[in-house]
Amino acid sequence: MTTLVQRLSTAIVADDDELGRMLLAESAAAAGLVSQSFGDGAEALQAALQSSVAIALLDVSMPGMDGFEVCRRLRADARFDGVPIIIVTGHDDSEAVRMAFEAGATDFVSKPVNWALLPRRIEYILRNAEAARALRARMSQVRTLVEALPDSLWVVSATGEIRWSSNAKLSAQRHDVADAEESDTLIAPAAQMPDVLAAIAQTAADGQQRKLEFRVQEDSQLRSFEIRLSQREGGDVVVVRRDTTERTQAAERIERLAYFDPLTGLANRHCCLDRAATWMTQAAARGQSVALIYMDLNSFKRVNDTFGHAVGDAVLRTVASRLQAAVAGFVASGMQLLVSRLGGDEFVVVVWAQDARAMGHTVADACRTALAQSIAFDALEFHCAPSIGMAVYPDDGADVATVLKNADTAMYQSKADGTDGVVVYREVMSTRLRDWLALESRLRRAVRDEMLHIEFQPKFDLSDGHIAGAEALLRWRDEEHGDVSPARFVEIAEDSGLIIEMSSWVVRAVCRQLRHWLDQGVRIPIAINCSAKEVMHGDPAGVIATEAANAGIPPSLIEVEITESLLVNDSLGVQKVLQSLRQLGCRIALDDFGTKYSSLSYITRFPPDRIKIDKVFVQNVDRSDGDAAIASAILSLASSLRLTVTAEGIERPEQMQWLRERGCHEGQGYLLSRPLSPWDFTQRYVAPLIAKSARPQAG
């Protein structure tokens, strides 16, 4: 038989008539059931409650408890919710039928019974009961699934009448969407309901799926929702509402990371370029223009290197706040304007206006003024006035990449000129930049292929004129450009980062030369220049130690010349580098003394071994009272601190005489000797020393 009969094979038969019980039992047996027959209703009830029952066949009139009461009590037990109960009675009036169904009967059979058809009727009732039970199980599964979903579901008519809702209160009710008041029945807030109802009607009409989104302020939180509409058979519409708050917030966080700088909160490079490109397209259609203002903070790298990135980040946040405050008035007036941080210490302001060139200049001036004031942080003051360049679409480029490149070029021109104004791009600037890049490429090749060379400028003891040492000067002769000025190629090397590699080559060449002279029995110390970038980002002591060891020379034969700005920096990093050089035995010389800073207190904190008087003071030392006073003060300071003094740029006998008379220890310059190649230097100054040492001593 069926699965139901295999699982539930018992039929409860209750009839006070013995023949009736027998015939009912036979009908049940014909349907594949095993009967338990009773002539008393109470006994039938007790047996049924203790068994797994497939069906109950109850006569109405029985002693003790009639069939109606047995039926009611069985239905009161949840186990009999889906068990079919057939009432068998000789009463065929409508009142009996009503009472049977009110008691919970599944079907009603009147006497006399058609016993031939009853087994088939029982089978039919059993199949329906099984189908009903499966349907209830399926409905329970669906209900569990719906309740587990984070979504709210409705089935509505084309006019918005709710036919079904995932809210249990509404499952057997009908409501009009527009009239619903309870929060869990509302598909959307009242303000969005007209759009929702219109979308429901359209979906019911054309069967197209639709999606609506809206946001609602709930308490202190802004929540996001998404509504999806789809047509079901019969023309009704399924409405699915999902809370997308977390997804929306995550998308906004991703967008913020993609389009905004996490440090300053300003638009980032991607957002800047995207917005500028959009504005340029719109400006072209309206005959308008877009200006890109490119700003780079001067001296910011020194802030980072000296005080660390935490302080640098605080300075950048202050700069961002000042820029936003500077443009707030323009934005309030309705101007299309965007402030962005491209990265590092570079900021770009995008201005879209009818005359973006004039308006951009005004905005740039406002930004320059805002950043001209010092920035205070933790009892420190920083001056990071920007270099500013500006380029304008479409005059200075047909796309955002070109205009940005040209604005950058104008900014570098401003930095090179040392101006505090706004430099507007001109075509000639690109030519200069191309020349710069071409020369940088050739310099890289020269460093790689060791096409550089060194000259030595002698230093002399002014008291007796003997050779006291030499300064190594780097030279570059290019095949195309000839002799390139050191001022030019050193600037390129520092800007491109080549300076560290180039300086390592200089140390190697100097160590080899010292080894060559030592092999001939001559010790002449050589001074090398060390740039700020080498001290901040390289390891000069490590390089000298390695190359000196490779050449087999004492590092004490190498003197390191640094600029005043490094001592003024007074950072722990600089002190550590200088201490490492001292530990190697290297002497420290302060180059171009007196040209950069007025305060001399830094000399007492980390005194050098030598001070070099810059040629700007030596040039007219015998003719100018001012230069003479400065040179005298330097010599007096050096004497007090027991420092050696070397004068640079001696070109006339009168200069040398003035310096010698006032106790200057050493000098160098064209009067004494021009820079010489290693071979010429050796022939002129080393060879005589070798010859002198080879002569027999008078005894």
Distance (Å, rounded) from C-alpha 447 to C-alpha 539? 19
**In the predicted model, what is the mean pLDDT of residues 361-371?**
92
Task: Indicate the SS3 state at residue 48.
Answer: helix
**In the predicted model, what is the mean pLDDT of residues 91-119?**
83
**Is 541 a member of any domain?**
yes
Q: Kind and range of the H or E element at 321?
A: helix 309-332
Which pLDDT value is given to residue 594?
64
262-266, 535-539, 663-667: which has the minimum mean pLDDT? 535-539
Distance (Å, rounded) from C-alpha 43 to C-alpha 493? 109
Higher pLDDT, 503 or 450: 503
Sign of the torsion angle spanned by Cα atoms 523, 527, 528, 530: positive
List phi, psi (to 5°) of 388: -125, 130
**In the predicted model, what is the mean pLDDT of residues 399-414?**
90
Which pLDDT value is given to residue 384?
77
Residue 168: pLDDT above 60? Answer: no
- The CATH code of the domain that includes 245 is 3.30.450.20
Sign of the torsion angle spanned by Cα atoms 125, 127, 129, 131: negative
**In the predicted model, what is the mean pLDDT of residues 118-144?**
82
Residue 183: pLDDT above 50? Answer: no
**Is 232 a member of any domain?**
yes
Between the alpha carbon of residue 11 and those of residues 6, 54, 57, 167, 409, the distances in Å are 12, 6, 7, 39, 98
pLDDT band at residue 390 under the 50/70/90 scheme: very high
Residue 171: pLDDT above 70? Answer: no
Range of the domain at 211: 149-250
Which pLDDT value is given to residue 697?
58
Contact residues for 199 (Cβ-Cβ < 8 A; gap 6+) = 210, 212, 227, 229
Domain boundary among 198, 231, 250: 250
Distance (Å, rounded) from C-alpha 217 to C-alpha 198? 23
Same domain for 29 and 95? yes
Which pLDDT value is given to residue 215?
84
**Is 692 a member of any domain?**
no
**In the predicted model, what is the mean pLDDT of residues 209-215?**
88
Highest mean pLDDT among 289-293, 481-485, 493-497: 289-293
Same domain for 527 and 552? yes
Residue 495: pLDDT above 80? Answer: no
Distance (Å, rounded) from C-alpha 101 to C-alpha 498? 100
Task: Indicate the SS3 state at residue 62.
Answer: coil
The per-residue pLDDT for range 298-347, each reduced to its tens digit, is 878 777 766 777 888 888 999 999 999 999 999 988 899 999 999 889 99
**Is 433 a member of any domain?**
no
100 contacts 69 by C-beta, under 8 angstroms: no
What is the residue type of 524?
A: I
Same domain for 674 and 644? yes
**Is 256 a member of any domain?**
no
Residue 597: pLDDT above 70? Answer: no
- The CATH code of the domain that includes 562 is 3.20.20.450
Which pLDDT value is given to residue 699?
47
Domain boundary among 372, 399, 425: 425
Taking alpha carbons only, the member of 384, 428, 359, 398 closest to residue 295 is 384
Which pLDDT value is given to residue 443?
85
Same domain for 197 and 292? no
Task: Indicate the SS3 state at residue 375.
Answer: strand
CB burial of 6-33 (b: ≥16 within 10 Å; e: otherwise) equals eebbbbbbbbbeeebbebbbebbeebbb
Which pLDDT value is given to residue 670?
94
**Is 696 a member of any domain?**
no
253 contacts 325 by C-beta, under 8 angstroms: no
pLDDT band at residue 188 under the 50/70/90 scheme: confident
| Residues of the chain above pLDDT 90, percent | 36
The per-residue pLDDT for range 59-70, each reduced to its tens digit, is 888 888 888 898
Tokens of 217: 């302020």
415 contacts 381 by C-beta, under 8 angstroms: no
Higher pLDDT, 350 or 154: 350
Which pLDDT value is given to residue 379?
64
Same domain for 417 and 454? no
**Is 311 a member of any domain?**
yes
**Is 604 a member of any domain?**
yes
DSSP string, 541-594: HHHHHHHHHHHT--GGGEEEEEEHHHHHH--HHHHHHHHHHHHHT-EEEEEEET
**To the nearest 5 percent, what fractions of the chain are helix, strand and coil?**
50, 25, 25
- The CATH code of the domain that includes 347 is 3.30.70.270
**In the predicted model, what is the mean pLDDT of residues 468-472?**
95
Same domain for 136 and 162? no
**In the predicted model, what is the mean pLDDT of residues 368-375?**
86
Residue 604: pLDDT above 70? Answer: no
Q: What is the DSSP letter of 621?
A: T
Contact residues for 239 (Cβ-Cβ < 8 A; gap 6+) = 153, 154, 155, 156, 187, 196, 200, 227, 228, 229
**In the predicted model, what is the mean pLDDT of residues 641-667?**
93
128 contacts 84 by C-beta, under 8 angstroms: yes
The per-residue pLDDT for range 443-469, each reduced to its tens digit, is 888 888 888 899 999 999 999 999 999
Distance (Å, rounded) from C-alpha 79 to C-alpha 91? 29
The per-residue pLDDT for range 524-568, each reduced to its tens digit, is 999 999 887 788 778 899 999 999 999 999 999 999 998 776 665
Which pLDDT value is given to residue 273?
94
Distance (Å, rounded) from C-alpha 268 to C-alpha 261? 5
What is the residue type of 656?
A: M
**In the predicted model, what is the mean pLDDT of residues 75-89?**
87
Same domain for 140 and 13? yes
Task: Indicate the SS3 state at residue 84.
Answer: coil
**In the predicted model, what is the mean pLDDT of residues 208-234?**
85
Between the alpha carbon of residue 656 and those of residues 333, 611, 670, 673, the distances in Å are 67, 17, 11, 13
The per-residue pLDDT for range 281-293, each reduced to its tens digit, is 999 999 999 999 9
Same domain for 463 and 603? yes
Which pLDDT value is given to residue 7?
46
Residue 243: pLDDT above 70? Answer: yes
Q: With both helix axes pointing from N to C terminus, report the angle between 540-551 and 572-584 in degrees, rounded to the nearest 10.
A: 20
Same domain for 580 and 493? yes
DSSP string, 109-146: EESSP-TTTHHHHHHHHHHHHHHHHHHHHHHHHHHHHH
Using H for helix, E for strand and C for coil, what is the string for 211-259?
A: EEEEEEEECCEEEEEEEEEEECCCCCEEEEEEECHHHHHHHHHHHHHHH
pLDDT band at residue 181 under the 50/70/90 scheme: very low
Same domain for 302 and 173? no
Same domain for 469 and 505? yes
Which pLDDT value is given to residue 566?
66
Same domain for 386 and 515? no
Distance (Å, rounded) from C-alpha 43 to C-alpha 56? 13
Which pLDDT value is given to residue 1?
40
pLDDT band at residue 388 under the 50/70/90 scheme: very high
- The CATH code of the domain that includes 117 is 3.40.50.2300
In the predicted model, what is the mean pLDDT of the chain? 84
The distance in angstroms from the start CA to the end CA of the chain is: 140
Domain boundary among 370, 399, 425: 425
Taking alpha carbons only, the member of 614, 532, 529, 615 closest to residue 573 is 532
Distance (Å, rounded) from C-alpha 348 to C-alpha 408? 10
Residue 130: pLDDT above 90? Answer: no
Residue 599: pLDDT above 50? Answer: no
Count of domains observed in the chain: 4
CA 16, chain centre distance (Å): 87
pLDDT band at residue 217 under the 50/70/90 scheme: confident
